[in-house]
Amino acid sequence: MRSSPITTAITPKASTGVGFRFQFQFQFVVAVIVSLFFASFTVRAFSAARRNNSRNYNNYLVSSTTCGGFRINQRRPHDDDSSSSAIFAGTCLSSSDSVEQNNNIDTQRQTPVWKRLSDWFQGDFDNYAQVVEDREQNLEPREGGGHEHFHCTLVPVMESTRLAAFFFDGNPDRIFRFRYYELMSPAASDNDNDNEVEAVEMMLNTLHPDLEKLLKSHATDPLSWPDIFENFQPADKEDPKVTPLTKCEISWSFEKDPVQHSYASDIPEDDDDASSSKSLHAVMVHGPTVVDSTTFPGMQIRIIDQLSLYRDVFYINDRGFNPMTGAFIYGNQREVPYRLERVSTILSTTSDSTTASSSSSSSDGALQRQVINPELEWTIGPNNRTPEEYESKLNVIGGPSAGINKKNYKSGGPGKKS
């Protein structure tokens, strides 16, 4: 009996006849189809993994010319922040990616939240007035329920990045925290839902130890920090310039969380024009997070943080706890946010200037610091006060509030130039 064509196609022949050649061609076609299928699947899987796991910063290295794109995310009003996830574009961009992103920058910067952050998230802030109020009510720091006196300086590095230094008692030589903040750019899919709440996510990074040491050696000249940051190269080229703090991302929006921002429920906006003065509020994307202490190796801290930014006031409700015992490590123990009032603006010289009592510029003229609150100018540093003024101000709050050696606190530096 003659074999059917199908049998001929799939049954090997001893000879090299037509049936064998047909079988070989059929198997070859099947192999190609299977290979293409798996290749397509692999590409899709890799792309998805890259979008969803771009927090992997194993080769993270910041370049001042190609990095730092900001992220505009969409957050639903009733999302549970403790379980929210985020998609980051956090690694450095190739030249072509950078050009493409720069082409979109004019459109992106017009989004209301980003525009507000760009305008307000810079300059010097200080909570001295709050500390004076505490001491008048006999509230001492920590267990006493009062606040430590500290200062925050935010210096623009690029449009979407900031160097942030925090120091005690108006003494920039006592910086206790140095960070590099990045406002992250959006994934295209994040903007599909028009009913979501616009938000901008901010990545928190620590600095390379040598870079942090170098910046601290120029603590009284923050306008020099961007150049120092840009020109720094680690001795080991494999070391990153900055390292992200895992699961510490912050989400900024115009929305006040009724629970997390309850402290801001009675705070009025700056004026009647809500479009130009609406405040910004931030929560942790992943909710309370346990991290390794950057100050005390081997210690872990459970962090809870909320922020609110008004035109001239910055509220920081940052607390740290022992994750095992719940014991308070830092922050206000009555959970009253630190209220830092704006002392100055630090803006590009191409930005609109603000009337100020005094100003200074970076050596290259790219940045200008303008004091807008003369009553707090002394908190900027030794070049903005006399030793006598410094001693008098600290005496009002009972001396240094953060355990600084009282034998040295009277030093006001070289003195304010007259």
Are 303 and 329 in contact by the 8 Å Cβ rule? The answer is no
Question: Looking at the DSSP assignment, which residues form a beta bridge with residue 357?
Answer: none
For CA atoms 345, 349, 351, 352, the dihedral sign is: positive
Question: Taking the chain, what is the end-to-end CA distance rounded to the nearest angstrom?
Answer: 115
Q: Which domains does the chain have, with CATH numbers?
A: 60-396 (2.40.128.590)
Name residue 374's amino acid: P
Is the pLDDT reported for residue 13 higher than 50? no
Mean pLDDT of 56-85: 36
Query: How far is residue 138's CA from residue 145's CA, in Å, rounded to a whole number?
Result: 9
Q: Name, in order, each residue with C-beta under 8 angstroms of 289's C-beta and a sequence gap of 6 or more.
A: 246, 247, 248, 302, 303
- Mean pLDDT value across residues 394-400: 94
Nearest-angstrom CA–CA distance, 174 and 166: 8
Are the C-beta atoms of 377 and 168 separated by less than 8 Å? no
H helical segments located in 296-404 = 387-396
Percent of the chain with pLDDT over 70: 61
Average pLDDT, the chain: 76
Q: Phi and psi for 193 in degrees, rounded to 5?
A: -100, 110
The arithmetic mean of pLDDT across residues 44-59, rounded, is 39
Instruction: Give 264's contacts (C-beta < 8 A, 6+ positions apart).
Output: 256, 279, 281, 308, 315
Bridge-partner residues for 244, per DSSP? 205
In tens, the pLDDT along 128-141 reads 999 999 999 999 99
Tokens linked to 275: 């479009």
The residue among 344 and 364 whose pLDDT is bigger is 344
pLDDT for position 26 = 58
Distance CA 312, CA 340 (A): 9
pLDDT in the model for residue 238: 93
Higher pLDDT, 305 or 109: 305
- For residue 182, the surrounding DSSP H or E stretch is strand 175-183
pLDDT single digits (tens) 170-199:
999 999 999 999 998 654 335 444 446 789
Distance CA 332, CA 318 (A): 8
Class of residue 261 by CB neighbours under 10 A (exposed 0-12, middle 13-18, buried 19+): buried
